[in-house]
Amino acid sequence: MSQKPPSEIAREALKLLAERKLPPTPANYQDCYCEISGHPIMAAFPEKNLRKIALELSAKDAEQRELLDQLDAAISRRSWQDIEKVLPEFFRVVSSSPMVMDAGTAATEDGSATTDTAELFRQIARMIECVLPALENVDELFSRKVESLLRSLRDPAADIRSIQAELGEFSHRLLLAAEEQDAIKIALLDLLHLILENVSTLIVDDRWLKGQVDALLTVVRPPLDLRRLDDVKQRVLNVMDRQSVVRGRSLEAQEEMRVMLAAFIERLSSMNESSTTFQSKIEDSAKRIEEVKTIEDLAPLLKDVIQTTREMAEETARERDALKLLQSQAVATEAEITKLQQELLRASNSARHDPLTNALNRKGLDEALVREIANMRRKETPLSVALLDIDNFKKLNDSLGHESGDAALIHLVNVVRQNLRPGDTLARYGGEEFVILMPDTVQDDGIKAMQRFQRELTKNFFMAGSEHILITFSAGVAQFAPDESGADAIKRADKAMYLAKRAGKNRVLGG
C-alpha cells in the first residue's frame, strides 16, 4: 500500500484523470485515487446483493413476472429511481393478487400474515437492509421509520394493511433519499470541475492547489452531505476570488521587480564606467607625475587628482543611495506579496465566519437559511430556528471589561457547539445574539435542545481570571411554516426570546 501523503496521491490522481482523458466523475476520481494509493476499489452500487434478493422474489402471474423483469433491468442500469418505482408496484400487486389470497399466502381473517407471506416479508426486510448502506446519510426520523418497518416485516402477527401503509411511506422517503443522493453527486461533480478548472490559473506557489485538494479529500469522505459540499464549494469560490487578486498583484510585483533589477544593472554598469574613467585618469596623472621636473608643475596635477577622486566618491555615494532605495522598494514589494498571501489563507473563513467566535456570520447564515429552507420543502421535513441572547451581558461587560465579554461569547459558542448535532448550524446574529438552525426538528424538540444547552452551561462555568461566572441565556424557538421566509421565522423566535427575558430570563419559549 502506498505511503505517500494524501495530498500527493490526490495530485497524482488528478494527473491520471487527465492522462487517461477520463471524465472527472466521482467514480473515476475514486478509481484513480485507489489505484495510486493501493486501496481496494469499493463498489458504489450493491448490484450483486440486489440480484441475489431479486432472484428470491417469485412471480405468480404474468404481471408479476413483468415487474420482476423491470426490476432486473433497473439493477442492470444501476438506477435507484427505477428500482424505487418497480418495488412498491410489485409489492402492491403481490399483496392484492387473488392467487395469493386463494393459496392462503396473504392474510388470515384477523389481518395477520400466513407462513408464505411472512417469508416474503422477511425477504423484503433483507432487501431493505441491503439497500440502506447505499443511501449513506439518512436522517434520524427516516432511520426510526425503517426500524419500525423492519420489525413489522419480521413480526408474524403484524397487520398486512399496516405494513402496506408503512411500505408506501418508506418508498416515498426512499425516493427522496435517492433524489438527495443524485443532488449530492451533481454537487460533488460540480466541485471537482471547479477545482480542475482552477488548476490552470493557480499561482506559482502550489500551496493553494494543496489546500483545495485537501478540502476536496475531506468533503468526499463518506457519508456525503449536501451541507458540507455547499460549504466547501463556497470556500473554494472565495479562495479563487481572493487568489485572482493575489495573482494580479503578483504579476504587477514581478514587473516592478524586473524594472528595479534593470535599474540596478544600469546603476552597476554606470558605476563600472565611472570606475574605468577614474582608473584611466589616475593612470594618466601617474604618467604625467613621472615627467614633472619642478614643484610648480606638480601642483596642478595634484589638484586634478584630488578633483577626480572627489567626483568619484560623490558619484559612488549617489549610486549607493540609489541602490539602497531600490533594495528598500524590493523589500516593500516582497512584504506586500507576503501579506496578500496571508490574506488568501484567511479568505475562506473571514468571508462567512465571525472572526471572534468562528461561528457563521450574517452572510453565512443567509446562505444556510436558503439551503435549509429548500431542503425542508423538498423533503417535507420540519425545520426549527432558535434565537438566543446572553442574559445580563451588558452588566458583565461593564463589570469585567470588554475583553472578558468577548471571552464569554467564545465560551458560550464552544459549549453550544460541543452539543450541536452534525447537521445543525450556529451563527452569530449580532452582539450577544446567536441563531441555531435545527433541521428535522419540530418546535418542542427545539425547545428541549435549547434547555439542554442551558443545563450544559450550568455545568461549565466561565472563568474570568480566578472568578467563576455562570452564563445563562434566554431563547425563543420557532418552527418554519411551509412557505415562511427565514426572516419571518427568526422574527417569531425573536419575539419569543423577548417574552422569555420578561418572564425572568434563563428560559426558552416557543414562538
Q: Domain for residue 327, yes or no?
A: yes
Could you tell me if 257 and 159 lie in one domain? no
Measured CA to CA, the distance from residue 106 to residue 200 in angstroms comes to 64
435 burial level (CB within 10 Å; 0-12, 13-18, 19+) = buried
Q: How confident is the model at residue 254 (pLDDT cuts 50, 70, 90)?
A: low
| Least-confidence region, from 34-48, 154-168, 318-332, 437-451 | 34-48
> What number of other Cβ atoms are within 10 A of residue 412's Cβ?
24
Residues 328, 465: one domain?
no
Q: Which of 305, 333, 352 is the last residue of a domain?
A: 352
Element (H, E) at 43: none
pLDDT at residue number 99 = 44
- Which among 285, 439, 470 is positioned nearest to 369, based on CA atoms? 439
Among 113-127, 302-316, 380-394, 480-494, the least confident range:
302-316
Question: 136 vs 13, which has greater pLDDT?
Answer: 13
- Domain assignment of residue 153, yes or no: yes
Residues 310 and 450 in one domain: no
CA distance 494 to 387: 6
Cβ atoms of 480 and 489 within 8 Å: the answer is yes
Residue 221 to residue 224: CA distance in whole angstroms: 7
**pLDDT beyond 50 at 1:** no
> In this structure, are residues 340 and 249 in contact, taking their beta carbons and an 8 Å threshold?
yes
Q: Are residues 53 and 76 in the same domain?
A: yes
- 472 — alpha (psi -120 to 50), left (phi > 0) or beta? beta
Query: CB-based contacts of 238: which residues, under 8 Å, 6+ apart?
Result: 347, 348, 351, 352
Residue numbers of the domain that contains 299: 246-352
Pair 394, 504 in one domain: yes
Asked which of 173-182, 183-192, 289-298 is least confident by mean pLDDT, the reply is 289-298
Phi-psi group of 289: left, alpha or beta (phi > 0 → left; psi -120 to 50 → alpha; rest → beta)? alpha
The answer to whether residues 124 and 169 belong to one domain is: yes
Query: Domain check: are 348 and 458 in the same one?
Result: no
Q: What CATH number has the domain bearing residue 379?
A: 3.30.70.270
How do 473-479 and 462-464 pair as beta strands?
Answer: unpaired
Give pLDDT tens digits for 399-431.
888 888 999 999 999 999 999 998 899 999 988
**Sequence-ordered list of residues with C-beta below 8 angstroms from that of 304, at least 6 positions apart, any chain:** 281, 285
Give, to the nearest 10 degrees, the angle between helix 115-135 and helix 47-56: 170
Quick one: 26 exposed, middle or buried, by C-beta within 10 A (0-12, 13-18, 19+)? middle
What does the angle CA 173 – CA 178 – CA 180 come to, to the nearest 5 degrees? 95
Task: Indicate if the pLDDT at residue 189 is higher than 80.
Answer: no
Grid cell digits, residue 482: 411551509
Are 37 and 3 contacting, i.e. CB atoms less than 8 angstroms apart?
no
pTM given for the model: 0.43
Whole-number pLDDT of residue 451: 95
Confidence of residue 278 (pLDDT cuts 50, 70, 90): low
284 within 8 A of 336, measured Cβ to Cβ: no
pLDDT tier for residue 370 given thresholds of 50, 70 and 90? very high
Q: What is the average pLDDT score of the chain?
A: 77
Q: Is residue 277 part of a domain?
A: yes
For residue 325, CA distances in Å to 75, 316, 330, 332, 464 come to: 74, 14, 9, 11, 50
CA-derived radius of gyration, the chain = 37
Classify residue 205: in a domain, yes or no: no
Band of residue 398 on the pLDDT scale cut at 50, 70, 90:
confident
- Kindly state whether residue 330 falls inside one of the protein's structural domains: yes
Which residues share a beta bridge with 174? none
Looking at the structure, tell me whether residues 402 and 332 fall in a common domain: no
Q: How far apart are alpha carbons 96 and 183 in whole angstroms? A: 35
Mean pLDDT over 124-146 rounds to 72
φ, ψ of residue 509 in degrees (nearest 5): -125, 150
Per-residue exposure over 347-362, b if at least 16 CB sit within 10 Å of its own CB, e if not: bbeebbbbeebebbbe
Q: Is residue 16 part of a domain?
A: no
What count of residues does the chain have? 511
Q: Is the domain of 464 the same as that of 397? A: yes
Indicate if 437 and 399 belong to the same structural domain.
yes
The average pLDDT across 268-276 equals: 63
The residue out of 319, 352, 385 marking a domain boundary is 352
Placement of cell 425545520 in the chain: 383
Q: Are residues 428 and 496 in the same domain?
A: yes
Is 99 a member of any domain?
Answer: yes
- Rounded to an integer, what distance in angstroms lies between the CA atom of residue 125 and that of residue 352? 44
| Alpha-carbon distances, residue 108 vs 59, 61, 100, 356, 371 (angstroms) | 21, 22, 12, 66, 48
Residue 231 neighbours by CB distance under 10 Å: 21
- Domain shared by 417 and 501, yes or no: yes
Cross-strand partners of 510 = 477
Domain count of the fold of the chain: 3
CA-CA distance, 166 to 125, in Å (whole number)? 12
Which of these, 123, 106, 126, 363, lies nearest to 237 by C-alpha position?
A: 363
**Is residue 347 in a domain?**
yes
- pLDDT for the residue numbered 488: 95
Q: Please report which confidence band the pLDDT of residue 467 belongs to, taking 50, 70 and 90 as the band edges.
A: confident
Question: 232: Cβ–Cβ under 8 A, 6 or more apart, which residues?
Answer: 191, 215, 216, 218, 219
Backbone angles phi, psi at 42, to 5 degrees: -90, 135
Q: Is the Cα dihedral 385, 391, 395, 396 positive or negative?
A: negative
Last residue of a domain, one of 299, 331, 352: 352
